Homo-oligomer: A and B are copies of this chain.
Amino acid sequence: MEREHFSKLYDAELNEIRQKLLEMGGKVEVMISDSMKSLVERNSELAEATIAFDHQINHLEVEIDEKCLQVLATRQPAARDLRFITLALKIVTDLERIGDQCTAIAKRAKELNEQPPLKPYIDLPRMAEAAARMVKEALDAFVRADDALALKVCEDDQFVDDLNEQIQRELLTFMMGDPSTITRAIKVNYISKCLERISDHATNVAEMVIFMVKGKDIRHTMSS
């Protein structure tokens, strides 16, 4: 009976980590979307709000880290749970850094909003959407231990990389044609790179999920 009580508490704790991670992921998705909106709609107030929002992400990072440490110290998790918790510790770091990238995008958006628009943004919002979806799916893959979904995230990274290269080529044409656009083009290029880095973080998470799932499978095979 006591054992059952322990087990329920333990499950609740693992579930809390899971929920907090998804909450953090959701907030990061909003940051990606809002930082892009602040650029496309030339809304510097939204850019400011996005920059200010980042402290919530940092706060969640500390909170999840502490929860993971607490469970490790008090529950002595083994095998699958141990892998889950140590991976959660790594994933919060990626999520926190995605928040940093969104802050960087919002800062550049503010600067760009003070100058005449360079060109309508078409590919950047597509990149941002893809990156946000990758973050969501990487986290979903983690909480469900779904390596097929994680593999999809890794494959989607190519789409974002291709868009980034396309944007870079296009900006190059702008800069070569009219050197007065160079300063702005470099800022837009920077934003494109930030989005690429966000999708890299999502891919890193997805790769770790695959390793978590496959690692388990390999052990299972070896011990059976």
Contact = CB atoms under 8 A, between A and B. Distances in A.
Given A86-B86, A93-B90, A176 B172 contact: no
Interface of A: 65, 68-69, 72-73, 76, 78-79, 82-83, 86, 89-90, 93, 97, 168, 172, 175-176, 179, 182-183, 186, 189, 193, 204
A168 B193 contact: no
A97 B172 CA distance: 28
Say how many copies of this protein the assembly contains.
2
A189 B182 CA distance: 13
Contacts of A172: 182-183, 186
Nearest to A94: B93
B168 A175 contact: no
Contacts of A86: 65, 68-69, 72, 86, 89
| List of 3 A-B pairs having minimum Cβ-Cβ separation, nearest first | A176-B179, A76-B76, A73-B78
A182 B79 CA distance: 53
Contact of A193 (B69, B73, B78, B193): B193
Contact of A72 (B82, B175, B176): B82
A30 to B, nearest CB: 23
A21 B78 CA distance: 24
A68 B183 CA distance: 46
Given A69-B82, A73-B78, A176 B186 contact: no
A176 B168 contact: no
